[in-house]
């Protein structure tokens, strides 16, 4: 194995270690500030310590995000009750989305930290993404375009109503 040494990159890599999350600029904190379901903020369900919000830039219709109501970026910062609620909301979200969209499966996961792909590294969140057989095609790859068959507003109405019905 060959190695290419580039010690000058060390300064660049270390510059990310000092990044602090800016709570004032956190859209999760802003969305949950009124502690109410809100079409404007896309919040569809709230529990005691966590909430479900629609992804404003979804991969598929029904793409949900689950986050603690408190601004934390690491799992170890959350108490066991909040961790349990987040898991419960993942289950509830799959039930709600199954009723509405009848997906063939789900992707559920979290990107912890910027290096792992977190778009909002300062506020821990999980993605719940409904999937269908054949829902991938060439458009996102060739033209960076994703076709969504439903508006966010219509999705919000269906999803928030189903949360009210079931829970």
Structural domain boundaries in the chain: 23-162
Please, which residues bridge with residue 67 across strands?
Answer: 51
Can you give the pLDDT of all 167 residues of the chain as single tens digits? 666 666 665 565 565 555 554 555 799 999 999 899 999 999 999 999 999 999 998 988 999 999 999 999 999 999 999 999 999 999 999 999 999 999 999 999 999 988 888 888 899 999 999 999 977 765 555 656 666 789 999 999 999 999 999 99
What's the chain's length in residues?
167
Quick one: CATH architecture of 23-162?
A: 2-Layer Sandwich (3.30)
Which one of 10, 63, 104, 125 is the catalytic residue?
125
**3-state class of 105 per DSSP?**
strand
Q: What are phi and psi of 150, to 5 degrees?
A: -145, 145
b or e along 72-89 (b: 16 or more beta carbons within 10 Å of the residue's beta carbon)? bbeeeebeeebeebbeeb
Asked about 71 being catalytic, the answer comes back as no
């Amino acid at each position: 194995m060959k190695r290419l040494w580039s010690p000058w990159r060390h300064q660049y890599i270390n510059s990310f270690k000092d990044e602090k999350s800016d709570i004032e600029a956190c859209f999760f904190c802003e969305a949950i500030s009124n502690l109410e379901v809100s079409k404007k903020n896309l919040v569809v369900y709230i529990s005691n310590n966590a909430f479900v919000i629609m992804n404003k830039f979804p991969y598929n219709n029904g793409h949900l995000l689950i986050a603690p109501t408190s601004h934390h970026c690491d799992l170890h910062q959350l108490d066991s009750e909040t961790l349990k609620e987040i898991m419960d909301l993942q289950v509830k979200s799959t039930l709600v989305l199954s009723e509405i969209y009848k997906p063939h499966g789900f992707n559920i996961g979290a990107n912890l930290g910027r290096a792992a792909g977190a778009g909002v590294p300062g506020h821990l969140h999980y993605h719940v993404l409904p999937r269908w057989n054949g829902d991938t095609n060439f458009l996102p790859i060739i033209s960076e375009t994703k076709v969504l068959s439903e508006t966010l507003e219509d999705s919000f109405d269906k999803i928030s109503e189903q949360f009210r019905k079931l829970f």
